[in-house]
């Protein structure tokens, strides 16, 4: 048993990366519990595992006292000195109490401890490994699905793809190979749990880094992403090198680079626009393919009104407002889109209202100082007449 135990510990260290010392420490603690459970002794015991020979020894630990009150916990100084003349009061003495049949119990306990440590070590290894992939992209194989998740095999672990993280209308079949974004890794009581996504905006960013070397190297930077998974996305890019066209670099010759990303996302439309520090230009770029005539901002600077040609109003707004909605997410501005004719009507109405207000103000005539004096004298005269009338009525 001892040789088999040593071989098992060495194999664990080599194959699973589990330190032999950690397993031995856990094994000794488990054997102490096993000894107390099987032999009904509550005395202080220690288990020692010989890492060289694989032998297991159980020791009862007793304290040296002048008067022995509990023979299971204490030993007299006289008895201790018979074992070793260097003992003093307060020291502890170990007496070997290894049962003859303890090897069987030790083997069962060792098996349980090793299996437990293997599971814990594998969980820790998997958690550490996949924590490094958090916020990154991985390729997996669809295995199965239930009413909550689609389960994706990532090699050492089965990740979960929730409904909200799936691309709408995308059908997942067993054995399909898909690229997923690792959004979160948790270390739960049941082991590591990996959550992946196909709808996360950063999935696009990682796909661009994989397909476009300039993005991976940082020559072209992805500034912002707005995405409605499975339908359409807008990506704002800028170049760190004035000689590199960021949009052309991402699109590629005849659209080959971006097409591979579109194919991976099952035909999701992709608008790549150039970022600009001037918000007017940036918003105009974000509303591509519509042409922008004018952009005006409100006082807060967080909202704007965009004017487009009449015939391009529906194009600027997009189907179900999608183009305007994505442009607003991309630029972080609240965008109100108006056609040229609507904007002219609004401005004409505002001009009319302003004219009416001006006329109303002109109709208000201010009193001159002379007129004010005359009016005041008239009031005084009226008050005097009223008082005289009252006096005459009382006299009568």
What's the number of domains the chain is made of? 5
pLDDT digits (tens, 9 = 90+) for 266-285: 889 999 999 999 999 999 99
Asked which of 51-65, 100-114, 302-316, 350-364 is least confident by mean pLDDT, the reply is 350-364
Average pLDDT over residues 148-171: 92
Does residue 72 belong to any structural domain of this protein? yes
With beta carbons less than 8 A apart as the criterion, state whether 348 and 337 touch.
no
Average pLDDT over residues 199-206: 95
pLDDT of residue 317: 94
Same domain, 286 and 266: no
Same domain, 217 and 167: no
User: What are the backbone dihedrals phi and psi of residue 319, each rounded to the nearest 5 degrees, phi first?
Assistant: -65, 125
Range of the domain at 189: 134-197
Does residue 182 belong to any structural domain of this protein? yes
Does residue 206 belong to any structural domain of this protein? no
Of the chain, the end-to-end C-alpha distance in Å amounts to: 141
Average pLDDT over residues 118-125: 80
Residue 188 is part of a domain; what is its CATH number? Answer: 2.40.50.140
Residue 94's pLDDT band (cuts 50, 70, 90): confident
pLDDT digits (tens, 9 = 90+) for 138-149: 999 999 999 889
Same domain, 357 and 327: yes
pLDDT of residue 203: 95
Does residue 233 belong to any structural domain of this protein? yes
Percent of the chain topping pLDDT 70: 85
Is 300's pLDDT higher than 50?
yes
Residue 325 is part of a domain; what is its CATH number? Answer: 3.30.300.20
Among 197, 219, 234, the domain boundary falls at: 197
Q: What is the mean pLDDT of the chain?
A: 83
Same domain, 231 and 216: yes
Q: Which residue has the higher pLDDT, 272 or 113?
A: 272
pLDDT of residue 318: 93
Residue 75's pLDDT band (cuts 50, 70, 90): confident
Does residue 171 belong to any structural domain of this protein? yes
Same domain, 8 and 121: yes
Same domain, 12 and 124: yes
Same domain, 302 and 342: yes
Q: CA dist 160 to 45, 157, 180, Å?
A: 46, 10, 10
Does residue 187 belong to any structural domain of this protein? yes
Q: Which residue has the higher pLDDT, 95 or 285?
A: 285
Does residue 204 belong to any structural domain of this protein? no
Same domain, 6 and 124: yes
Asked which of 41-50, 312-321, 354-363 is least confident by mean pLDDT, the reply is 354-363
With beta carbons less than 8 A apart as the criterion, state whether 229 and 268 touch.
yes
Same domain, 265 and 312: no
Residue 123 is part of a domain; what is its CATH number? Answer: 3.30.1480.10
Is 135's pLDDT higher than 90?
yes
Among 260, 275, 290, the domain boundary falls at: 275
Same domain, 118 and 183: no
Where in 27-107 does DSSP place strands (E)? 45-49, 56-65, 74-76, 92-96
Does residue 202 belong to any structural domain of this protein? no
pLDDT of residue 387: 46
Same domain, 285 and 355: yes
Q: Strands 137-145 and 149-153: what pairing?
A: antiparallel
Structure tokens at 385: 């007449």
Same domain, 37 and 151: no
Q: What angle do CA 213, 231, 174 make, to 5 degrees?
A: 80
């Amino acid at each position: 048993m001892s040789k088999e135990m040593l071989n098992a510990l060495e194999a664990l260290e080599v194959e699973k990366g589990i330190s032999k010392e950690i397993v031995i420490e856990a094994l000794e603690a488990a054997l102490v519990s096993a000894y107390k459970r099987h032999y009904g002794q509550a005395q202080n015991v220690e288990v020692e595992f010989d890492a060289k020979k694989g032998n297991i020894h159980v020791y009862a630990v007793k304290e040296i006292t002048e008067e022995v009150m509990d023979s299971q916990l204490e030993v007299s100084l006289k008895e201790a000195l018979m074992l070793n003349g260097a003992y003093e009061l307060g020291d502890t003495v170990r007496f070997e109490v290894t049962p003859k049949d303890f090897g069987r119990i030790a083997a069962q306990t060792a098996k349980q401890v090793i299996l437990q440590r293997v599971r814990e070590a594998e969980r820790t290894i998997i958690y550490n490994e996949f924590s490094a992939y958090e916020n990154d992209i991985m390729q997996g194989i669809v295995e199965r699905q239930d009413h909550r998740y689609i389960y994706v095999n990532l090699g050492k672990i089965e990740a979960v793809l929730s409904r909200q993280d799936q691309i709408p209308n995308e059908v997942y079949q067993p054995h399909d190979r898909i690229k997923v974004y690792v959004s979160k890794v948790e270390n739960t009581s049941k082991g590591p749990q990996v959550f992946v996504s196909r709808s996360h905006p950063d999935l696009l960013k990682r796909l661009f880094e994989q397909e476009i070397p300039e993005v991976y190297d940082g020559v072209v930077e992805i500034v912002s992403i707005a995405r409605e998974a499975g339908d359409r996305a807008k990506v704002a890019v800028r170049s760190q090198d004035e000689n590199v066209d960021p949009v052309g670099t991402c699109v590629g010759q005849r659209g080959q680079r971006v097409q591979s990303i579109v194919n991976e996302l099952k035909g999701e439309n992709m608008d790549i626009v150039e970022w600009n520090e001037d918000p007017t230009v940036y918003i105009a770029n974000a509303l591509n393919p519509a042409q922008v005539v004018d952009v005006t901002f409100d006082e807060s600077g967080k909202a704007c009104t965009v004017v487009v040609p009449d015939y391009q109003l529906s194009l600027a707004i997009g189907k179900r407002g999608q183009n305007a909605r994505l442009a607003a997410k991309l630029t972080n501005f609240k965008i109100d889109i108006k056609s040229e004719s609507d904007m002219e009507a609004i401005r004409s109405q505002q001009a009319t209202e302003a004219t009416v207000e001006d006329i109303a103000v002109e109709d208000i005539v201010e009193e001159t100082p002379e007129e004010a004096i005359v009016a005041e004298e008239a009031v005084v005269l009226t008050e005097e007449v009223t008082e005289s009338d009252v006096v005459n009525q009382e006299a009568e």
